[in-house]
């Protein structure tokens, strides 16, 4: 695994975005925790993330390029707009998909919903410029505590990803889940 500091990543942005679209699985910072992700449109990459995390059969979420992307691909009702106004922020909003293939099938093998985020940090701009959704799931083995820094990641984990974007220690908590397919919305603090 190659570790890149935020400044280097931003300086060589086009190179790294090309790597993302060509099939990289990578570690990146968000406003809450470090995440592990890939191009959410590529089913084999999504399966690779699942193998790394040892997490099967659970829905994964994505960081999306914009609120417009959400409105174009998901079923957004007027009552959902107040939640969209909270983005960017530490929320994962769950919608029913309008466009079935807006992400790979393995992102959510359970049903036709999708959890979306726009984090309140610089990585949201990366996804916006990339123009496609990125898998966002905490940097850990399923059921274990998330790693707070790149230095904490065990060597066997490091061999399974292509690169990591280091941005110091991040010791937040996972985003709040808001299931907007329910009325009233089901809110789950994590």
Domains of the chain: 2-188 (3.90.870.10)
Rounded to 5 degrees, what are φ and ψ at 141?
-80, 140
Q: How confident is the model at residue 154 (pLDDT cuts 50, 70, 90)?
A: confident
On average, the pLDDT of the chain sits at 93
What's the whole-number mean pLDDT along residues 78-98? Answer: 97
């190179």: which residue's tokens? Answer: 15
Tokens in use for 113? 């919903």
- 187, β-bridge pairs: 178
**Rounded CA gap, 75 and 65, in Å?**
17
Quick check: 57 and 113 in contact, CB under 8 A?
no
Describe the crossing of helices 123-130 and 13-22 by its angle, rounded to 10 degrees: 70
pLDDT value at 184 more than 80: yes
What's the whole-number mean pLDDT along residues 135-155? Answer: 91
- 36, β-bridge pairs: 27, 137
Rounded to 5 degrees, what are φ and ψ at 86?
-80, -5
Distance of CA 12 to the CA centre of its chain: 21
**Rounded CA gap, 88 and 66, in Å?**
9
The better pLDDT of the pair 51, 13 is held by: 51
What's the whole-number mean pLDDT along residues 63-77? Answer: 98
The better pLDDT of the pair 108, 20 is held by: 108
Nearest CA among 95, 90, 98, 91 for reference residue 80:
95
Tokens in use for 44? 């084999």
């922020």: which residue's tokens? Answer: 89
Quick one: what percent of the chain has pLDDT higher than 90? 78
């Amino acid at each position: 695994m190659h570790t890149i500091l935020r400044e280097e990543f931003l300086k060589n942005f086009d190179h790294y975005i090309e790597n993302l679209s060509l099939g990289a699985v990578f570690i990146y910072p968000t406003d809450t925790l470090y995440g592990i992700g890939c191009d959410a449109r590529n089913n084999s990459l999504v399966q690779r993330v699942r193998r790394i995390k040892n997490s099967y059969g659970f829905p994964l979420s994505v960081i999306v390029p914009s609120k417009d992307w959400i409105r174009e691909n998901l079923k957004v009702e007027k009552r959902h707009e107040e939640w969209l106004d909270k983005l960017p922020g530490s929320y994962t909003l769950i919608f029913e998909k309008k466009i079935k293939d807006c992400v790979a099938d393995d992102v959510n093998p359970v049903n036709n919903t999708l959890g979306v985020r726009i984090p309140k940090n610089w990585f949201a701009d990366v996804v916006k410029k990339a123009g496609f959704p990125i898998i966002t799931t905490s940097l850990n083995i399923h059921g274990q505590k998330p790693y707070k820094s790149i230095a904490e990641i065990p060597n066997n984990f490091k061999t399974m990803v292509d690169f990591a974007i280091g941005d110091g220690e991040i010791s937040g908590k996972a985003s709040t889940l808001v299931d907007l397919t329910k009325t009233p919305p089901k809110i789950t603090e994590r």
